[in-house]
Each structure stands twice: as C-alpha cells, then as structure tokens.
Amino acid sequence: MGLPMAKNLLAAGYPLTAWNRTRAKAEPLAAHGAQIADTAQEAFRKASIVITILADGPTVIDVMRDALPALKPGTLVIDMSSTRQDEALTLHQMLAEKGVAFVDAPVSGGVVGAEAATLAIMAGGSAADFERAKPVLTVMGRPTLVGPAGCGQIAKLCNQLIVGGTLAIIAEAMLLAQAGGADPAAMRAAIRGGFAESRLLEVHGQRMLDRAFVPGGQIKTQAKDMDNILIAAKNAGVKLPVSELVTGLYHSILGAHPNADQSAALLAIEQLNPGQRVGDAPDRF
C-alpha cells in the first residue's frame, strides 16, 4: 500500500525521500520524482514529516530506534502501520524523549483505496499534531482524529473486528444457502439492498462465489489483527466472545493458507463442514 500512497504525495507536490528495507520496492517512485535513500537515517535526516507503513509494531519500533539519531527535534512522525496500542504508545514515548511529535494513523481501504486516495485514516495524537498531519493525510484519504496517541490503533482494531466477523458471517451464509439447496449467488443478489448490504458482501462475497482467494488482504494479517483485538480487549478489561470465536476461525486455516485473501474465511467454514462446498469452481490462490 505504501507505493500508491507515496505516489499520491508526489502528485500533490510534496518533496519525498523514500526508503524500503528492500530497495527495489522503493525504486519505482524515482520515476515519479522521489529521491531513493539507502538507509532510514538518510531518508529521515532532512525530513520535517516522516511517514512509516510497515508490517507490524516490532518492525516499526526497530526501524525507528535505528533511525532515531537522524530525527531532528520538532519532526512529526506519522505511523500508518497496523500495530497494537501498547506498541504505538512505546513508539510515542521513545520519540517524545527526543522532542519528536507522533501520530498513529492506521488505514483501511486496501490497495484500491490507497490508489484512489480514499483511505479511511484513523488518527491518534494531540489536536495540534493532528492538525499538522492533516494536510498530508488528506492527500491519501479521509483522516479522523479519534483520541490521543495510541487510539488510532484501537479504532483500526475496531475496523478489523467488524471486517473479520462480517467475512465469517458472509461465509456462513454462503455455505448455508448451498447446503439448504439455494443458489448462493442468487441468495447474495436477493439480499443486496437490504440491511445485510455492505462493501464486504459486494467485494468479498463475489470472491467467495468465484473461489478467488488471491490477495488483497491476507489471512495472516487478519489473524494478527484478531490476536491484537483480543490483547486490546484484555488490556481494556472487556470480554469479546464473538471476536474470540472469529480469531480461532482464522487461525484454523493460517497454517495452510497464510497468504490467501481474507475471503478464504470460507475455507475455514467449509473445513468445519466436511463434504460441503460453495460452488464448483476451482480454488485460486
């Protein structure tokens, strides 16, 4: 997702220095006017705003710790990765000790949303830091301040809770229709426009019907997010029974299909129902 997000920043006229742990992933940005750095420190040294989007919290913290000497006091760091709240707060504290501002701003909308600059951006930080970040974030999507530092990650986990649970329910509906003798595709068409309508039913429901599990978002990412949801719930002192069930569902296929699209939740439901299968198309990964 970082590539189209960076392209949008360049198209908006922002000077950009790009760095990736795998340099080849950053090099396509050179054709759009970006400078390509060999190290994170090189990328950060002259920056007034630093944006990170990486695989997980520990990776973000490791990268920022290594590059910390290059950050000037007054720099604003915007982390758009999906991490745990406690990881965001650790990063916030680490940066604050050097006089560096921080906003956690995870996103939802996938690669399509990144390309179209329509990402939902959930921001955590002070009102002043958010106002400073807002013009840059608006180039990539629709930013909303949801609370102090770390709260962006809580909002993203709420988003992933709804996504993960809804995909599991759609998969159950598909299998129930098939097993009960109804056409799953016709069932989906019939309920669209009613209260069950959603972007997930539109996009991932079709993927389930087509058995097209090429990612998109990946099962391993959704499983990580579900784990983080349960950690956040424990830290907040609340019980989320549906999330516990959904977490187990994604973990049940994590070993076999870690890189499959999230719509492969259908495979987890079918695995619980031997002999039942939605449609007769071959699985595509």
The catalytic residue positions are 156
- State the amino acid at position 13 in one-letter form: G
DSSP string of the chain, one letter each residue:
-HHHHHHHHHHTT---EE--SSHHHHGGGGGGT-EE-SSHHHHHTT-SEEEE--SSHHHHHHHHHHHGGGPPTT-EEEE-S---HHHHHHHHHHHHTTT-EEEE--EESHHHHHHHT-EEEEEES-HHHHHHHHHHHHHHEEEEEEESTTHHHHHHHHHHHHHHHHHHHHHHHHHHHHHTT--HHHHHHHHTTSTT--HHHHHHHHHHHHTB---SSBHHHHHHHHHHHHHHHHHHT---HHHHHHHHHHHHHHTT-TTSBGGGHHHHHHHTSTT--SSSPPPB-
What gap in Å lies between CA 222 and CA 46, rounded to an integer?
35
Q: 170 vs 226, 269, 278, 284, CA distance in Å?
A: 17, 10, 12, 19
201: closest CA among 191, 215, 214?
Answer: 191
